[in-house]
Amino acid sequence: MLITEIGYTTPTSVVIRGQDFSTQILGKMDFLDIIMLTSVGRTPTPQEKVMLNLIMVTAAGHGITPSVIAARMTLLGAPEALQGAVAAGILGGGSVYLGPIQNIAQTLLDISAQLTRDASDDEVRAAAQAHISAMAAQKKPVWGVGSATHQAGDPRVPTMRELARDNGFYGLHWRVLDAIGELLSEQKGRPFCANGAGALAAIVADMGISPALGRGLMLTGRCASLIAQLLEEQQTPIAQEMWDLVLKQDPRCGK
């Protein structure tokens, strides 16, 4: 049958996951509740909400990223279509930005699948080392650790780890990630610990939500940040100046 379990509308009501939108949801659930209700069919616990907020606040809190440049450039050409500029920014959330949360979470799930919940530190380190070795053998990078911007370590990660601990979500997947970071730091002789994407992926994995939903939360957070950037662009535009700056690098343009 061609239906969605998420919800439907009748002439007299709107129903979401079996609940009446007007009497059971509106004013009783917040945005995180409805995200979880529609996506996984239940509302989150207070501890889960702390984590969900952490994920989405991180996705929303940043300066000028490639997505932001794409969105502002799009608004320059199509100021009448805010949704188009948002969409252009969303489109950069692929395998290099935002998408890695999903892939790293899946990797942490895969590495941890062979471990019991009360695995010893040695077992965790052995699993972490096996992953590092496997990636080296395949000449693939190890994701989730190290940061080009923050050479001494991503400043957000210690807070993320602490919040995860405080709310009961520092589990096996965080431990694997941290073991990878420690091993690589030792082997490289310089800090190579968990980065923001890795920490968020560990949280997703330790919360037990699907990696795909983790990516979805990032995209929603990113959407909010694009709105903020585009509202600023409407008031104090910088896209034209960015374009001029790029053109100025080309000596052939003769100006």
Restricted to residues 151-180, the positions that interact with a copy of itself (CB under 8 A) are: 151-152, 155-156, 158-160, 162-163
CA–CA distance, 145 with 200 (Å, rounded to integer): 12
Q: Which is nearer to a copy of itself, 31 or 130 (CB)?
A: 31
62 part of the interface to a copy of itself, by CB under 8 A:
yes
- Cβ 111 to a copy of itself shortest distance, Å: 23
CA angle 240, 66, 237 (to 5 degrees): 25
Say whether residue 126 binds a copy of itself (CB under 8 A).
no
Q: How many CB atoms lie within 10 A of CB 162?
A: 11
Instruction: Determine which residue in the list 46, 63, 113, 121 makes contact with a copy of itself, applying CB under 8 A.
Output: 63
CA 211 to chain CA centroid, Å, is 10
The verdict on 112 binding a copy of itself (CB under 8 A) reads no
User: What is the rounded end-to-end Cα distance, in angstroms, of the chain?
Assistant: 63
Question: Which of 47, 60, 119, 129 is close enough to bind a copy of itself by CB under 8 A?
Answer: 60
Choose one: 16-24, 111-119, 121-129, 133-141; the region binding a copy of itself (CB under 8 A).
16-24
Residue selected from 47, 82, 106, 119 as contacting a copy of itself according to rule CB under 8 A: 82
- Spatial neighbors of 47 by CB under 8 A, at least 6 apart, are 167, 168, 169
Q: How far is the CB of 217 from a copy of itself (least distance, A)?
A: 8
Residue 246's identity, in one-letter code, is V
Give the total of residues touching a copy of itself (CB under 8 A). Answer: 122
Query: Beta strands 19-20 and 14-16: pairing type?
Result: antiparallel
Which H/E stretch holds residue 20?
strand 19-20
For residues 173-212, which are near a copy of itself according to CB under 8 A? 210, 212
**Which two structure tokens, joined as six digits, stand for 163?**
């919040």
Q: Which is nearer to a copy of itself, 136 or 231 (CB)?
A: 231
d(CA 238, CA 227): 15
Question: With respect to a copy of itself, which residue has the nearer C-beta, 110 or 166?
Answer: 166
Q: Does 103 bind a copy of itself (CB under 8 A)?
A: no
